[in-house]
Structure 1
Amino acid sequence: MKIRPDQLHNHLQQGIAPVYLLSGDEPQQLLECGDTIRHSAHSHGYDERQVMEAATHFDWDILAAEAASLSLFAQRRILELRIPSGKPGREGAKAITDYLASPQEDTLLLIILPKVEKNQQKTKWFTTIEKSGVVIQVWPVKAAEMPRWIQNRAQHHGLQLTRESIQFLAQQTEGNLMAADQEIEKLRITHGVGNITLQEVAASASGSAHFTIFELMDAALSAQTARALKMIRTLKVEGTPAPVVLWSVAREVRLAASVAEALSRREPPAAVFKRQKPPVWQSRQQLLTSGARRLPLQGWYRLIKKLAEVDQAIKSSGDPWIVMEEILLGMRGA
């Protein structure tokens, strides 16, 4: 059967299924669902855990061998099968269906993989898991759903955030659940449980270069060059490591260049954003598209070469901040 992530806790209170499949491209929810299953299994006596990584050239006979082997340390155990490609292939599909034809009573099979496409969901191995166990698919949280997710997570940590605080965090983290969870945990450690004001949330966020750097690149992409230069100089004065700033600058420049390449081929920018891992937040797609149009393709290529100069300056005695300012200036176009 299929259940949603928010139904998992109640499901596990009714007992452990012989097989669970977790799939999706949202790492925070995938991690938490896996941890919830492992914790519940441990409370039911599944004290041993064997992890198998089904990468390229994986020997699928190992699954049957592990299932047939006797545990030396525990009566019950978890076999955790990770499939990074999201597709087990012909041999893997057969190995999974063969295992589920006669699953071991003392063994829980936990399969973790990226998003399973619709055509894969119609295959025998997937439908067999649906019939024999539980399938949980996780999806990125949409912009409209992000405030509620933040509110629920804050309440889980014993925090009460104002509506303005929730909106502020939702805007700053842009669908990144892991970043939002880290900020909430930081607030709990700093202020303890109870009510948290917008001022406290903003002060906590301003102490993290993650947010300021994103604001920096938004200013550069929207041709607010003076503001972008002021921000990067502030980051330098505050002691933000140059490699941290370079990471964000390089990511945005390369992404904008990819959009510019797509535009030169008359390919819709949406195709570029769809290929990104993690995906580009919807609210930033228009900003990146308009920013990419501001320079000809060769201009973006020149800025990519500049990124190598920044990296070299960091590794030597040069000044990477000057070169990064040149990149920001170059992003404004003609």
Structure 2
Amino acid sequence: MIHLLYGEDGLSLEEALALLRADAGPEELQDINVTTLDGTNVGFDEFAATCSTVPFLADKRVVILRGLLSKFEARGFGGGRSQPRAQQGENRLGPWAGVKEYLPTVPETTELIFVDGKVSGRNPFLAHIKPFAKVQTFPLPSARDMPNWIRGLAQKLGVSIDPRAITTLAETIGSDTRVLDSELRKLALYRSGGTITHDDVNELVSYAREASIFAAVDAVMEGRAGVALRMIQQITAAGRPAVYVITMIARQVRLLLLAKDLKAQRVPPQEMGSRMSLSGFPLTKTLEQEGLFSMERLKLIHRKLLEADLAIKTGTADEQMALDMLIVEISLSSSTRG
């Protein structure tokens, strides 16, 4: 049988794939009867030969082909614009255009599974294999559905979770189901049948801790001195030195300056994340902040950071005093900006 599994919810997809792998016979024979091919470099002839191999001491063998559909996502190559779209798709497939003739001949002893991430409906390879395959799609849970998804996974892991903890996980990790699964397993092991609390998430989940420093940096840069001082007091009381906070403010200013420059060059958001070495929550937050500050404002904060660094290095102020002065000066400059 032929299967097609694709979508951005990698966690659910891999769970479905694990069930299909079980068709490869006893676990001790699966190394022999399960073959995984990399779609980015496998050729059609190798693929066909692998599918035609008979299973060893089992009724079925499993062939998993990962990433082949992504290879044919539209990226502006292929036939010229004057050609019909279907013909352009055939040109882009090259030797793989013969797959629609080959798939009906795949032996009944082979479970062929195409696995991929996000695939567009205009993908030419998708059109070739869909008529022959049992299709399962795995979209990410929506922001609206994510709290129930988190609650449901916690229940499967044998724990309950309070609403504030759910909100923090959803806001800081977003829809990355693999990361959520990993973090919830860690929290479930820590609570062992109890209730995961908001404090547990803040203490054990690195994404939540990063969100806390982001919130503090937000307060500093937006001139909310009272809020910033209270949040930073909590961060330093938890063991982070004052110079860490100064470093994080400086890092965020540099990222915002870089984001402004990339935006001016009309670089797409996804590529901006790659160039800034950011993804997930940090990238989303930085791109949101970028529009809140002018280049002049960021340069002013950068000068204040240099002054704080100089005060620490020359002994004019200790780290905590330099940080407090920095917050107040940024706040004062915020109230006078035009």
Which consecutive residues of structure 2, in runs of 5 or more, have no partner in the other structure?
Answer: 73-91, 306-318
The one-letter code matched in structure 2 to 1:52 is: L
State the Cα distance separating 1:103 from its structure 2 match: 1.4
Alpha-carbon distance between aligned partners in 2 of 1:74 and 1:247, rounded to the nearest angstrom:
57
Alpha-carbon distance, 1:83 to partner: 1.7
Q: Which amino acid aligns with 1:50?
A: T
In structure 1, the residue matched to 2:117 is 114
- Equivalence map 1:1-334=2 (5 Å): 18-39=1-22, 42=25, 47=30, 48-55=33-40, 57-72=41-56, 74-83=58-67, 86-88=70-72, 89-91=92-94, 93-120=96-123, 123=124, 125-193=125-193, 195-196=194-195, 200-222=197-219, 223=221, 226=229, 230=233, 233=236, 237=239, 256-257=256-257, 259-265=259-265, 267=266, 271-272=268-269, 280=280, 285=284, 288-291=287-290, 293-294=292-293, 296=295
Partner deviation per Cα, 1:123-181 (whole Å, 9 max, x = no partner): 3x423432222222222322111101011111212223344443343234322322322
Given the superposition, is the C-alpha separation of residues 74 and 257 from structure 1 closer, same or farther in structure 2, using an over 3 Å criterion?
Answer: farther
Aligned alpha-carbon RMSD (Å): 4.4
Q: 1:181-231 CA deviation, whole Å, 9 max, x = no partner? A: 2232123222323x515xx34225413333112221243245266567556
Q: 1:313 — aligned with what?
A: none
Mapped to 2, the partners of 1:290 and 1:228 lie a distance apart of 19
SS at match of 1:21: strand
For each residue in 1:53-104, what CA deviation from the matched residue of structure 2 results, as whole angstroms up to 9, or x when unmatched? 122x532210111122334454411111112670345136325323312111
Structure of greater Rg: 2
Residue ranges of structure 1 left out of the alignment (5+ in a row): 1-17, 307-320
TM-score (structure 1 length as normaliser) = 0.64
| Distance in 2 of aligned mates of 1:275 and 1:22 | 29
Name the TM-score, length of structure 2 as normaliser.
0.64
Q: Using the alignment, how far apart are the partners of 1:84 and 1:227 within structure 2?
A: 52
Number of equivalenced pairs: 278
Distance 1:162 1:41, change over 3 A: farther
Q: Separation in 1 of the partners of 2:192 and 2:253?
A: 39
- CA separation of 1:29/1:19 partners in 2, compared to 1, >3 Å: closer, same or farther? same
Letter in 2 for 1:114: G
